Structure 1
Amino acid sequence: MFTGLIREMATVKRFSGERLSLKAAYRPKLGDSIAINGACLSVVSLESDGFTVELSPETQGIIATENLKGHVHIEPAMQFGDRLEGHIVQGHIDTVGTVKRITDNGNSYDVVIEVDKKFIPYIVPKGSIAIDGVSLTVNDVYESSFRLTIIPITMRETLFGSYSSGTKVNIETDMFARYIAHFLAHKDAKLDWETAERFTALY
């Protein structure tokens, strides 16, 4: 489990398709879970200047592997007792979106990201979303896209500063929206307040 707060921008040393080697100040332990651009991966080897993670065929097929070059976001998994300052992120990428446009508003930026329409029900206005592992709040939701407002420090300290129209990004939708949508998809499902409270208590 993660918070969507990026610890570091690591440098890609090598990417073979199955293994990704990174140069980073952060020192994980062998077997640790770490989110790379939002995708939860396992550390399989340690080097003097960083570490290597492994990508399963499932992961390779769903994330934006073309972005595994230059710099990537990294966030270690939460430990018991850590403060939850972002939102609950599982590190399970739902889909890859495409940056449609970025508008500079002076003291903030509007970023519109396009996604497959089938994921729109899981994207909630004023709800949480993780873009390449960054915890953000959704402002508006449209037929096949959504709008975020990005503040200058996020532009400077994350990959958002390198995004442009056409950039592919990893998207993890809101966990609670996914669970409720799955529950309602079953014909015999009955959702009442007691059930909804039980869902939220589990997380």
Structure 2
Amino acid sequence: MFTGIISHVGRIAGREVRGDGATLRIASSVVHDSLGRGESLAVAGVCLTVESWDDIAFKVTVSPETLRRTRLGHLAPGQKVNLERALRAGDRMGGHIVQGHVDGLGCVRSVRSEGVSRILSLAAPAGLRPHLVDRGSVAVDGVSLTVTAVDAGGFEVTLIPETLRQTTLVDLKAGDTVNLEADMVSRYLANHLRFMNGEDESGSAASWLAAGGA
């Protein structure tokens, strides 16, 4: 579990295709911060497992499913990625609960300045839009942000100076793709309501209940 508060920015140092999946080597100072084998690390908002590291970079494996559902499949050497280590017991919850399970890809519609901040407008997939509410939370490439406006095709967020300094969102421009994760509470509530109405995510709750829930 994560909070959407980015601790490091890494850079893709290498990529190796393995069957339908891939291995990424990511250069970051996080390797000097008591990194552990098997540790969960959010890479551009995607929860991955640290397999090994050296003095420069760490290595993670990306599954075929993750490559299909996220933008990690399009990362090239030299590109920067947001990094966040998993939340530990006793840590402060600075953002909101982020699982590192990407719901879909967003596309940057526009970026405009507003004082010292920037307004980021994003197109969101239809399945994500019901979870977007004004003043609600959303993770964009792993960054916890507050939704400031919602429309039929997407939403807007404000990037404050600290976010621009500490994350890769500073480099976003129109046409760029980002990983999006809806607020976890909204996802569970929506699933519960579907179930109560006789239909789960696969549309088979009624059949499941009729079969005795076996």
**TM-score above 0.5, yes or no:** yes
- The residue type equivalent to 1:112 in the other structure is S
Helix, strand or coil: the match of 1:169? strand
| Aligned positions, number | 189
Deviations 1:169-193 (A, max 9, x none): 000011111111111112249xxxx
Give the conservation status (yes or no) of the 8 Å contact 1:130–1:171: yes
Is 2:23 the partner of 1:19? yes
Which residue pairs with 2:10 in the alignment? Answer: 10
Aligned-residue sequence identity (percent) comes to 36
State the partner residue of 2:51: 44
Q: Counterparts of 2:70 and 2:198 in 1: how far apart (Å)?
A: 33
Larger Rg belongs to = 2
Q: 1:109: Cα distance to partner?
A: 1.2
Aligned residue in 2 for 1:60: 67
Which position in structure 2 is the counterpart of 1:94? Answer: 103
> Partners of 1:118 and 1:22 in 2: how far apart?
31
Separation in 2, partners of 1:90, 1:134: 12
Matched, 1:169 2:174: no
Distance 1:99 1:133 in 2: 15
Match of 2:48, as an amino acid? L
**Residue in 2 that maps onto 1:79:** 88
- Give unmatched runs, 5+ long, in structure 1: 190-203
2:13–2:57 Cα contact (<8 Å) kept: no
Name which of structure 1's ranges 127-136 and 149-158 shifts more when overlaid on structure 2: 149-158
Distance 1:180 1:68 in 2: 37
SS class of match (1:185):
helix
Structure 1 residue 50, shift from structure 2 partner: 2.1
For 1:95, give the aligned amino acid.
G
- The runs of 5 or more residues in structure 2 that have no matched partner are 200-214
Matched letter for residue 151 of structure 2: Y
- CA RMSD in angstroms comes to 1.4
> 1:109 and 1:67 mapped to 2: Cα distance?
24
Partner letter of residue 28 of structure 2?
A: A
Which runs of 4 or more aligned residues in structure 1 lie more than 4 Å from their structure 2 counterparts after TM superposition?
Answer: none
